[in-house]
Structure 1
Amino acid sequence: MMKYLTLCIAFLIISACGNPTSDYKDATNALDAGRGFIDACLKGDFIKAGFYMVQDEQNKKYLAQIETQYREKGREGRQQYREASINIAEVDEVTESMTIINYSNSYDKIGHKVKVMLQNGRWLVDFKYTFNPNL
């Protein structure tokens, strides 16, 4: 009986953990993907940011660096970012499958760029472009 109870509890715990990205919806266009990624980063939800990002080693490395910097900020600094709004300065549709978004946020007002690409039917941010715009 105890073995059965243990198996049931283990199953419930595994089921509850599930896939955290299953609640996220794919972006329907480049702007939605860019906003989803940027907003998730501002709010400190780096799992969600990763959902909207091209999954390659360089992008993962940059996202981990941004997460580390975010976590090192004081409580008040993180709160300011969570409350910040996204200010989109320009959306440049380079091709039908690639868009560059120039943006800042209302807290630090620093300009940034992200490249959003249509890859395997999904709009995803190529985050490494932010650090090397020659890509």
Structure 2
Amino acid sequence: MKYLIPLLFIAAFFSCNENAYVKSKDPVDAAREFIRASLDGDFKKAKLYLARDDNNQNFYKLYIDKYDKLSSIEKDGFKKSSIIVNKVENINDSTIIVNYANSFKNKNFELKVYTEKGECWVDFYYGITGNLNIE
């Protein structure tokens, strides 16, 4: 009996980790995962890909604040929308630029995805610094 309780805790711990999300190591798929999570309002998942610098963190917080103020109809429109990838540009062996839109707003955006130490990171802030009109 004294071994049963610790075994149950260990089993519970490992069963919780079985469903842990694993980030994509493919830059195009990472971009798609980030975009889909952002459209769905799944910001916890999107932040797994978001570059860790202050510019990206602060700008994405503004995006979240704006998303939270949308009506339920608009949020539903984003959730039901499809991702339209217009162009993927390979900058170098570790960086791509993804030009995309969603079928709800059909407005083009760009983001940069780079691979560092085997992990894909989304530079969401690139949409501003890449001379992109995002109004």
Q: What TM-score range do you get, normalising by the shorter chain?
A: 0.7 to 0.9
The Cα of 1:28 is off from its aligned counterpart by: 2.2
Report Cα offsets for 1:80-119 as digits up to 9, x if no partner. Answer: 0011110000000111100000000000001000100001
The Cα of 1:62 is off from its aligned counterpart by: 1.0
Aligned residues: 119
CA distance, structure 2, for counterparts of residue 61 and residue 38 of structure 1: 17
Seq. identity, %: 29
| CA RMSD in angstroms, aligned pairs only | 2.1
**Amino acid of the residue matched to residue 58 of structure 1?**
N
Q: Give the aligned partner of residue 72 of structure 2.
A: 75
Runs of 4+ in 1 over 4 A off after TM superposition: none
Unpaired stretches in structure 2, ≥5 consecutive residues: 1-8
Normalising by structure 2, report the TM-score.
0.81
Report Cα offsets for 1:50-83 as digits up to 9, x if no partner. Answer: 1011111111111111111111010100000011
Higher helix proportion: 1
CA contact (8 A) 1:46 1:63 kept: no
Q: Give the aligned partner of residue 130 of structure 1.
A: 127
1:106 to 80, 83, 103: 103
Residues 1:47 and 2:47 are matched in the alignment: no
CA contact (8 A) 2:88 2:96 kept: yes
CA distance, structure 1, for counterparts of residue 105 and residue 20 of structure 2: 30
Q: Give the aligned partner of residue 6 of structure 2.
A: none
CA contact (8 A) 2:25 2:118 kept: no
Residues 1:25 and 2:22 are matched in the alignment: yes
Aligned positions of 1:53-68 closer than 5 A: 53-68=50-65
CA contact (8 A) 1:59 1:128 kept: yes
Unpaired stretches in structure 1, ≥5 consecutive residues: 1-11
SS in 2 for 1:62: helix
CA contact (8 A) 1:62 1:128 kept: yes
SS in 2 for 1:23: coil
CA distance, structure 2, for counterparts of residue 23 and residue 62 of structure 1: 27
Q: Give the aligned partner of residue 4 of structure 2.
A: none
**Amino acid of the residue matched to residue 74 of structure 2?**
G
